[in-house]
Structure 1
């Protein structure tokens, strides 16, 4: 039997003290996570040694910095981040940001912080 997955039945975790993540798919070779970032919150600059990622905005507005370049992503827009490239995402919009992040392979445990600069 095929079961539909959603935030209601997915594994939940909290990151950055105020952001939420739901593992919609958590396989050894592929991760799909839905995340929520409140207004003014975001992540620290980092990169992944192995994982490439694709961010896709479901609602709200994301500011995504990739390799020192910033781009604004609105609902229905996405962006690829290659492995080894420093990036960060934050919400500077007027409402919560919800997005999907697809990682190949999964990015958990593969995160390297980068000093601001």
Structure 2
């Protein structure tokens, strides 16, 4: 089934960030997110979900177990369950990215 971001279920997180559910079920979620300049999520960990972050446009910094990794457009990284992480936008523009969680990360997040 075809889906477009503008047709997807939208939500706001962190007061200024956008998310669109491109796929949402218990086995997997695919979310497109927009994070404006200076925004970040809280440091956290998932016990069950493995996540793959893929940058569509802009640049982000991924903190993984105390180390920063710079991710540019068309780059991504995998976060295994149990690994503390955080994505930040330290650039001057928006960053858009995909987050693919297997299984769904709903209810599987513990703040650090």
Alignment RMSD = 0.7
**Residue 51, structure 1, aligned to residue 43, structure 2:** no
Among 4, 14, 19, the alignment partner of 2:12 is: 14
- How many residue pairs align between the two structures? 112
Cα displacement string for residues 44-94 of structure 1 (whole angstroms, at most 9, x for unaligned residues): 100001101000000010100111111000000000000011000010112
Aligned partners of 1:79 and 1:56: how far apart in 2?
Answer: 7
Question: 2:69 maps to what in 1?
Answer: 71
- Mind listing any 5+ residue stretches in structure 2 that lack a counterpart? none
The 3-state SS of whatever aligns with 1:8 is: helix
Question: 1:88 maps to what in 2?
Answer: 86
Aligned partners of 1:19 and 1:6: how far apart in 2?
Answer: 19
1:109 CA displacement: 1.0
Using the size of structure 2 for normalisation, the TM-score is: 0.97
- Mind listing any 5+ residue stretches in structure 1 that lack a counterpart? none
1:17 CA displacement: 0.5
After TM superposition, which residue ranges in structure 1, 4 or more long, deviate above 6 angstroms? none
Using the size of structure 1 for normalisation, the TM-score is: 0.93
Question: 1:24 maps to what in 2?
Answer: 22
Question: 1:103 maps to what in 2?
Answer: 101
